[in-house]
């Protein structure tokens, strides 16, 4: 079933000082279905944020798209002009960034900044209508006394309230896809719960793409899960399939590292090693140096994709070996 947003064999890299392209994302493929929430999970450096910036066409100047497409409602976003892309940003696809304090302009009022999105995409609205809609949006995301808050500045808001402002800004035009990049990273546990509850309610009106390393958040919000490692998708499926039957050694490692009430401190599992930098990627499976089950050809050959069910896919040589297909 075609998705509202689809990555098809998307690859990108970065130009180094010598003019060479260093590969970062390699043949990434997954889909975001209409009305569903997809969690993109993995450690820092796995390519999660590059995925979102690719959708928004906000990659750094030295980024190079090496192949593939990113389709939104059947249109390749990579082929659009900047003007056409600006029509989509904020209106059809909107994004909540990691740190609201660095995303909000400190010298402009909250009301003005949220209202800018409406001015851009609904120019027929009067100033009074924009203000009314902004105040209503602030109320919807749980900002108390929105009439007064409308004229205040970012430094007058707490971290949790600033994140709510970012959510209000991203959703005021009712986008078809909302992208949230680690939306609760800088928040304490209580505020995290409030923001996640708000986002759970928002996904009723559209699709959600959640970037996170926190599997607890995924189980609370997401319908589908995409596990990334070193710029590649290693496993994808429904939330139930991934949580009940994690198959890739990296996915299993992520689950094993989750603290539980039965764990003693000495028993807490950690995946050995760390995510390699892009200049150190192997030609085969990029997880092989950290995998306790790696075989010789894991280091030299890209693992094939195996369909465990129509919605559950895994890229791992071990799965083929165990099924006698290697």
Degrees to nearest 5, angle at CA 189 with 186 and 192: 65
Lowest mean per-residue pLDDT among 21-25, 81-85, 140-144:
140-144
Final residue belonging to a domain, choices 174, 201, 227: 174
Same domain, 264 and 167: no
Give the predicted TM-score (pTM) of the model.
0.90
Please tell me whether residues 36 and 180 are part of one structural domain: yes
pLDDT, tens digit, for every residue of 38-89? 999 998 889 998 999 999 999 999 999 999 999 999 999 999 999 999 999 9
Residue 263 has what pLDDT? 56
Question: Is the CB of residue 123 less than 8 Å from the CB of residue 155?
Answer: no
Query: At which of 125, 157, 174 does a domain end?
Result: 174
Question: Does residue 69 sit in the same domain as residue 193?
Answer: yes
Confidence (pLDDT) at 262: 65
pLDDT digits (tens, 9 = 90+) for 256-285: 888 776 656 567 778 888 889 888 898 999
How far apart, in Å, are the Cα atoms of 74 and each of 12, 34, 86, 310? 21, 13, 17, 22
Q: Does 314 lie in the same domain as 240? A: yes
pLDDT of residue 194: 76
Residue 324, pLDDT > 60, answer no
Mean pLDDT of 84-112: 89
Residue 9, both tokens: 């064999």
Domain that holds residue 129: 101-174
Percent of the chain with pLDDT over 90: 64
Q: Which of 43-47, 172-176, 200-204, 317-321 has the lowest mean pLDDT?
A: 200-204
**CATH number of domain containing 263:** 3.40.50.300
**What's the rounded mean pLDDT across residues 198-214?**
79
Least confident of 22-36, 103-117, 144-158, 189-203: 189-203
pLDDT band at 126 (very low <50, low <70, confident <90, very high): very high
Report the domain count for the chain.
Answer: 2
How does 103-133 read in b/e, with b if 16+ C-beta sit within 10 Å? bbeeeebbbbbbbbbbeebeeeeeeeebbeb
Instruction: Tell me the pLDDT tens digit for each residue of 246-259.
Output: 999 999 999 988 87
Residue 265, pLDDT score = 59
Q: Work out the average pLDDT over 218-225.
A: 91
| Same domain assignment for residues 211 and 151 | no
The total of other beta-carbon atoms located within 10 Å of residue 296's CB is 10
Same domain, 22 and 138: no
Q: How many CB atoms lie within 10 A of CB 11?
A: 18
Question: Is the domain of 69 the same as that of 200?
Answer: yes
On average, the pLDDT of the chain sits at 89
Domain boundary among 128, 157, 174: 174
pLDDT in the model for residue 325: 55
């Amino acid at each position: 079933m075609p998705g509202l947003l689809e990555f098809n064999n998307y690859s990108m890299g970065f130009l180094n000082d010598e003019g060479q392209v260093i590969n970062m994302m390699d043949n990434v493929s997954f889909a975001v279905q209409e009305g569903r929430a997809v969690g993109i999970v993995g450690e820092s450096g796995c390519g999660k944020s590059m995925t979102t910036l690719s959708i928004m066409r906000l990659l750094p100047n030295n980024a190079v798209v090496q192949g593939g497409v990113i389709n939104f409602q059947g249109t390749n976003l990579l082929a659009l002009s900047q003007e056409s892309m600006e029509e989509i940003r904020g209106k059809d696809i909107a994004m909540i960034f990691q740190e609201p304090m660095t995303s909000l302009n400190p010298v402009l009022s909250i009301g003005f900044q949220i209202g800018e999105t409406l001015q851009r995409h609904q120019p027929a609205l009067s100033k009074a209508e924009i203000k009314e809609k902004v105040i209503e949006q602030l109320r919807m995301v749980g900002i108390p006394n929105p009439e007064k808050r409308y004229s205040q500045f970012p430094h007058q808001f707490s971290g949790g309230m600033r994140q709510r402002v970012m959510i209000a800004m991203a959703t005021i035009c009712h986008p078809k896809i909302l992208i949230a990049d680690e939306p609760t990273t800088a928040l304490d546990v209580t505020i995290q719960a409030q923001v996640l509850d708000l986002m759970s309610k928002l996904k009723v009106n559209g699709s959600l793409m959640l970037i996170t390393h926190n599997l607890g958040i995924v189980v609370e919000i997401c319908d589908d899960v995409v596990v990334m490692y070193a710029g590649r998708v290693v496993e994808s499926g429904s939330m139930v399939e991934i949580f009940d039957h994690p198959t890739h050694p990296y996915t299993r490692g992520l689950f094993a590292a989750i603290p539980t009430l039965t764990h003693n401190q000495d028993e807490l599992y950690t995946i050995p090693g760390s995510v390699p930098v892009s200049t150190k990627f192997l030609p085969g499976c990029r997880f092989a140096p950290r995998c306790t089950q790696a075989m010789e050809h894991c280091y030299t050959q890209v693992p094939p994709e195996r369909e465990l069910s129509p919605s559950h896919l895994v890229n791992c040589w071990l799965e083929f070996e165990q099924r006698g297909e290697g």
